[in-house]
């Protein structure tokens, strides 16, 4: 019986891992999102993994061994519960798949504020200050405009420091 598992991949090698796993008959899924960024002064949309360095895989351990999956190029290891790889509920995978839009890319970043939203910073060195959300800055940070000494200043802040107002 095929079960879903979660793999941790080497940095930026998700695609390599997926290609090599699919060659072995292992089903792979890694949700992606379309992110708007500024690159070289131009606003672009790029597709990034929703969970960087993680890939969901589906296989039957009686057909494909855990060792061959774990030893695949690009794969670091399984996410484990004790000594055994942790199984992932099918409902989670199917819920992620159902949230994909018509372009086959998820827009699950609704937890992040939208550009122009006013926020109050909850933690970090700017705690208590109000900020205007500008755009995401990588995996865990965001660009914000804060008012310092009467002038708006653009800073990069951890997403965990945000509190939507």
Residue 39 pLDDT exceeds 60: yes
Architecture of domain 3-109: 2-Layer Sandwich (3.30)
* Fold type of domain 112-161: SH3 type barrels. (2.30.30)
pLDDT at 149: 56
Domain spans in the chain, listed from the N-terminal domain onward: 3-109, 112-161
129-135 long-range contacts (CB < 8 A, ≥24 apart) are 130/165, 131/155, 131/157, 133/162, 135/36, 135/37, 135/38
- Give 96 or 27, the one with higher predicted confidence: 27
| Distance from C-alpha of 116 to C-alpha of 122, rounded to nearest angstrom | 18
Answer whether 118's CB lies under 8 Å from 164's CB. no
Give pLDDT tens digits for 97-141.
877 653 444 444 445 566 777 777 776 666 777 777 776 665 555
């Amino acid at each position: 019986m095929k079960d879903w598992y979660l793999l941790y991949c080497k940095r930026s090698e998700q695609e390599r891992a997926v290609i090599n796993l699919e060659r072995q008959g292992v089903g792979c899924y890694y949700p992606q999102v379309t992110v708007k960024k500024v690159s070289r002064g131009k606003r672009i949309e790029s597709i990034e993994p929703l969970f960087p360095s993680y890939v969901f895989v589906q296989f039957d351990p009686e057909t494909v061994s855990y060792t061959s999956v774990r030893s695949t190029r690009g794969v670091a290891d399984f996410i484990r519960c004790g000594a055994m790889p942790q199984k992932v509920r099918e409902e989670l995978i199917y819920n992620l798949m159902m949230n994909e839009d018509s372009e086959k890319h998820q827009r699950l970043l609704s937890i992040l504020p939208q550009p122009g939203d006013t926020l109050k910073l909850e933690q970090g060195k700017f705690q208590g200050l109000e900020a205007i959300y500008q755009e995401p800055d990588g995996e865990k940070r965001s660009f914000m405009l804060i008012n310092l000494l009467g002038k708006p200043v653009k800073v990069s802040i951890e997403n965990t420091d945000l509190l939507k107002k």
